[in-house]
Amino acid sequence: MSTNVQSSAERATDTQVVLLGTSGGPRWWSDRAGIATAVVVGESFYLFDCGSGVGRQLRAAGLDIDRLRGVFITHMHSDHVVDLAGLGIFGMFGLEDHTGPVIPVVGPGDRGAVVPASPRATADRGVLYPQDPTPGIAGYWDYSMRANATDLNDRYRDSLRPSPDALFEPREITLPTDLGFHPDHNPVPAMDPVVVYSDELVTVTAILVQHPPVAPAYAFRIDTPDGSVTISGDTAPCENLVRLARGTDVLLHEVIDEEWIAERYGDAGTPEAQTMIDHHLNAHTGIPDTGRIATEAGVGTLVLHHFVPGNRPRDRWETACRFFDGTVVVGDDLMEIPVRAAASRPVPEGQLV
Ligand SMILES: [Zn+2]
Ligand SMILES: [Zn+2]
């Protein structure tokens, strides 16, 4: 047995994952809130993605915002970032006594090149917002706050309230230049995870994943004193994610129902329908592959979330059990999942202890 695994009595923290919202995609499918996840370590928590309803879900989970230590955005799709501005603007009223360091909002940088037009396009559609068509997290934050400047100045000058910019700070992830990353030609080069945040409780690492045409798109791994959590972000099956997740205690994986794709678009026969089929199959992970990935990475518990569509019956998602011998959890909003290192679990090849 490894000697650096603490017994439960020695642990100083109590770590759990709270699924705040479990729906994927830019729409209101059902009662599921938009994708957002908290990793709670003792009195602190770290927030991953800010889907629709994140503020209310934090309230429902009993997570006061003054316990928030960092925000992490996997990629710039709206279903992952749409309520970030709300978190910053409403959240600051719960942070007026905040004396800790500025709260980082860690996420992708600018894509750097506008996404190529679909080969099925029948006319030149041009580019939306051509002055700045692909902002990363820093631009997103800045535009969001500027759009609310009337309100923010009112409260800052007249009501002597704080500024969101004094409490939160966007930080764009920088990739090693020798990776050769390019958003169109080389969006998912093989790489080692990069550290994007650390404090006395956690280390957060990131790796590029396969979610075309979005690039960069990241998965995150959070190593805590109690164990590790890996969050896939949105991705098709890819080797980088397996590398990041190897030996992790809890893997949260996105999932799409491949039977739904066939039902929804299979018979349409239009270029638009085929475009959607291609997007879903190239950019997301079907149910059987979630289990296969968990097996390959040697994880302890597989938790499915970011359901597409968000209104599918549970028994469809439960079929992931056929492809993974470990524990499979079909996530629900506000579900709490303890994070405990499984010292007795066989150590997968390549994991260092
Ligand atoms: Zn998504
Ligand atoms: Zn996405």
| Centre of ligand 2 from the C-alpha of residue 305, in Å | 13
Of all ligands present, the nearest one to the C-alpha of 49 is 1
Ligand 2 center–CA 2 separation, angstroms: 38
Q: How many CB atoms lie within 10 A of CB 184?
A: 14
Helix or strand (DSSP H, E) at 250: strand 250-256
- Long-range contacts of 187-193, Cβ-Cβ distance < 8 Å, separation of 24 or more: 187/212, 187/215, 187/216, 187/217, 188/215, 188/238, 188/240, 190/239, 190/240, 190/243, 191/240, 192/243, 193/221, 193/243, 193/244
- Cα(84) to ligand 1 centroid in Å equals 14
Residue 268 has a pLDDT of 64
Q: Which ligand is closest in space to the CA of residue 209? A: 2
Ligand 1 centre distance from Cα of residue 153 (Å): 33
What are the DSSP E strand ranges found in 25-143? 36-41, 44-48, 68-72, 103-107
Residue 249 corresponds to which amino acid? D
Instruction: Compute the half-sphere exposure of residue 159: CA atoms within 13 Å on the CB side of its CA.
Output: 12
Tell me the CA–centroid distance for residue 74 and ligand 1, in Å: 9
Q: For residue 33, how far is its CA from the centre of ligand 1 (angstroms)?
A: 12
What pLDDT is recorded for position 235?
98
Ligand nearest to the CA of 235: 2
pLDDT in single tens digits along all 353 residues of the chain: 333 344 444 444 699 999 999 999 999 988 999 999 999 999 999 999 999 999 999 999 999 999 999 999 999 999 999 999 999 999 999 999 998 899 999 999 999 999 999 888 888 899 999 999 999 999 999 999 999 999 999 999 999 999 999 999 999 999 999 999 999 999 999 999 999 999 999 999 999 999 999 999 999 999 999 999 999 999 999 999 999 999 999 999 999 999 999 888 876 678 888 888 888 889 999 999 999 999 999 999 999 999 999 999 999 999 999 999 999 999 999 999 999 886 534 444 433 32
Q: What is the distance, to the nearest Å, from the Cα of residue 5 to the centroid of all Cα atoms in its chain?
A: 28
Instruction: Give distance in angstroms: CA of 53 to centre of ligand 1.
Output: 14
What is the distance in A from the centroid of ligand 2 to the CA of 196?
A: 20
Residues 87, 92, 93, 98: is their CA dihedral positive or negative?
positive
Whole-number Å distance, alpha carbon 92 to ligand 1 midpoint, is: 26
Please give the distance, rounded to the nearest whole angstrom, from the Cα atom of residue 62 to the centre of ligand 1. 25
150: CA distance to ligand 1 center in Å? 31
Pick the CATH number of 13-121+132-338 from 3.50.50.60, 3.60.15.10, 3.20.20.70, 1.10.390.10: 3.60.15.10
- Going from the Cα of 312 to the center of ligand 2, the distance in angstroms, rounded, reads 19
Task: Give the ligand whose atoms come closest to the C-alpha of residue 34.
Answer: 1
**pLDDT of amino acid 11:** 47
Chain centre to alpha carbon of residue 317: 19
Helical segments of 184-257, H only: 239-245
From the CA of 306, which ligand is nearest?
Answer: 1
Three-class secondary structure of residue 138 per DSSP:
helix
11 CA → ligand 1 middle, Å: 34
Residue 43 Cα, ligand 2 centroid: separation in angstroms? 30
Domain boundaries, the chain: 13-121+132-338
Of all ligands present, the nearest one to the C-alpha of 254 is 1
Long-range own/partner contacts, residues 195-202 (CB < 8 A, 24 or more apart): 196/72, 196/106, 196/171, 196/220, 197/70, 197/72, 197/104, 197/106, 199/69, 201/13, 201/41, 201/42, 201/44, 201/69, 201/225, 202/39, 202/41, 202/46
Dist. CA 80 → ligand 1 center (Å)? 6
CA of 325 from ligand 1 middle (Å) equals 27
Whole-number Å distance, alpha carbon 77 to ligand 2 midpoint, is: 5
